Every structure is written in structure tokens, then in C-alpha cells.
Amino acid sequence: MPSDLIYDVGVNVGTDSAYYLHKGFRVVGIEASPPLADQLRLMFSNEIATGQYTLLNVGVAAEAGEFDFWVCDTKSEWSSFDRKIASRNGAEHHSVKVKTLRFDQIVAEHGIPLYCKVDIEGNDWLCLAGMDPQTRPRYVSIEMSYEKGDRDFKLLRDLGFKEYKIISQVSWSQPTQALISLNRKLPYRLRRISLAAEGLLRGVRSDGDWKFEFGSSGSFAESTPGRWHSFDEAYATWLKLHHLAKSGSSLGDWYDIHAR
């Protein structure tokens, strides 16, 4: 396993890739959206020329082929192979044909990364399904699904990941079960104030001279905030967040699951 290779699956506008490159890593960026891929080729033209950055304009899917990809015209991060995601809140969107590969095909060609960041709007699990215990990275992060996080946790466990963190993409801090229970009883506005305060106190908003932009995935591996948790502890936290979302009392955050 190369110690200097990171996969950025779901590059979007490139903020995470730029951070990994700044840290000195080689990066394989995977972005399905053709308009975004065109922008990224310009943004990382020097790094592509030197071989530090490899950009793949493909989607990760259950099978290799070519499928309709829905580009959200107003929010690039909502672009997805799932039209329901791209059209959230009535957003304007259009379809383009995009080449797809299985995740194991990408790993076979480009190598096993030290860390793999995945954020591909509903299809994160396909990357996990394309790994096995011998080809998985040392560290991985995926966007937490309120609805199907149980499936994702079980995939991670079956791959041999032992320790986990659930980290807010808004405050870059871990939600404690005590905070979740407290916020469940508060009005929405007070929940937002409580979360913001916790983020200021506990979140990791920079890494040396690098400041994380809103919407970025933040730090990774051992630089992530807080302690690592067992499967049972992390799953219990997800379950609380899942029940909050089902009851309509969601904290209003979205989260990543980090595993090692």
C-alpha cells in the first residue's frame, strides 16, 4: 500500500483534492460530472502534468458501462446518478452520458490508497462494496446516510475496520450522545446555536496554514478530531441520529463516517 496516495472520490469543486496535494500526497480524483471535470483539469493542470494528480472523469457503479448522470444546474454537489438527488427542491437539472467503472477496477489500475474519501451522493456504498479486506485503504471516510447507515457500518465492519468517528461536515466535530439527547429537546434555532458553539470549541477548522472551506471534508486519518470509537459505540451514535431524522427532529447537520 503506497503511503503517499489518496483517492478523492467525488471531487466536486476540488477543495479536498487541493488540500491533499498541499499536504504532499499523490491524488487520484474521481469526478463523474463532465462540467466539473473540465474545471478540474484547468485547476490542477500543473499537478496533472507532473503526475501528482490523476483525474478520472468516470462514475463509480456496480458495473462498467455508460449511464445517465444527472447534473444539477444550481448545486454541483447534488449532481448524481440518482435523478431524485439532482432535482432536490425542484432544482434545474439535465442528463449526460457518463462512463462508469467498478471501484475494484480503479484500484487494480491505480493502486491501493492510504486514505479514500468518498462523497458521491447516495452511491458511497458502491466503493465499499468494491473493496475487500486485502485491497481496502488504511483509512476511509464516507458520507453518513441517515437512512441506510446500518448497511454502511456493516460493510465497513466486514472489511475489517475496527474503529470509527462520526464527524459533522458543518462543525468538523464529533456529536456526543449527550449533546444529541440534549438537542432533541431544544427548539430548532437553539439546536443550531448549540451545534455552532460545539463546533467552535471542538472542531478542527484548519491544518497548519490550511484553512478548511465550508463544504470541504476537513482533516483525515489521525488528524480528525476526538477519539476513535468501537463499532458498537459509533453504531449507537448513528442510531440516535437515525431516530432523530425519522422523528423530524434532525440536528440539521450532515456527517461523515471515518474508519480505520
Every domain of the chain and the residues it spans: 1-137, 146-260
Pick the CATH number of 1-137 from 3.40.1710.10, 3.40.190.10, 3.40.50.150, 3.40.1390.20: 3.40.50.150
CB 131 within 8 A of CB 104: yes
Nearest to 33, CA basis, from 5, 7, 55, 6: 55
Amino acid type, 41: R
Q: Examine the pLDDT at 179 and tell me if it is beyond 80.
A: no
Return phi, psi of residue 122, to 5°: 95, -15
Q: How far apart are CA 143 and CA 254, in angstroms?
A: 8
3-state class of 210 per DSSP? Answer: strand
238 by Cβ neighbours in 10 Å (0-12 / 13-18 / 19+) ranks as buried
3-state class of 9 per DSSP? Answer: strand
Kindly state the DSSP code that residue 74 receives in the 8-state scheme. Answer: S
- Which tens digit of pLDDT belongs to each residue from 78-125? 999 989 999 999 999 999 999 999 999 999 999 999 999 999 988 999
Mean per-residue pLDDT over the chain, rounded: 90
Amino acid type, 74: T
CB 11 within 8 A of CB 56: no
- Global pTM reads 0.88
